[in-house]
Amino acid sequence: MKKSFIFSALLLALVAGFSACGNKEKSSENDILEFWVGNVEYSINGINITYLYPKTNEDTWTGWVSMPVAPSKVRLSPGATIHPPATATQNFENEVSYTVTAEDGSQQTYKVKVDRTPYLD
């Protein structure tokens, strides 16, 4: 009888532990936090991610990576996934869309593009 009671108590504790794990709320965060191509960090402004060409005094382009290329670093919200995969080669001279999916299934689409309009450092 005593062994049966101990076994039942352990089984109840195990079931309660697994039930508590199943009730964890899934995150709705679906953000791109960092986006890099080569050694250049792109600017994130809402759903638009761009790289603006800096222009030097000699009127030459700097910071350019030949396309197509895969991003060198993409940091997402914890638990989120991205499609197409961040390892896929893209031509960012044309707008590329990435869909980020949160743990709860909510999605957000980001548009990534190189902007050839120069700005002065």
Range of the domain at 97: 26-120
Strand ranges in the chain using DSSP code E only, listed in sequence order? 32-37, 40-41, 43-45, 48-55, 73-76, 81-83, 96-101, 107-120
Prediction pTM value: 0.71
Q: How many structural domains does the chain have?
A: 1
What are 114's strand-pairing partners?
A: 51
8 inside domain: no
Residue 20 lies in a domain: no
44 domain residue, yes or no = yes
Residue 96 is part of a domain; what is its CATH number? 2.60.40.2340
Asked if residue 10 is part of any domain, the answer here is no
Residue 70 lies in a domain: yes
**Does 82 map to a domain?**
yes
Asked, for residue 43, whether it belongs to a domain, the answer is yes
Which of 104, 38, 76, 93 has the alpha carbon at shortest distance from 85? 76
Q: What is the pLDDT of residues 27-74, one digit of tens each?
A: 999 999 999 988 888 889 999 998 876 555 444 444 556 789 999 999
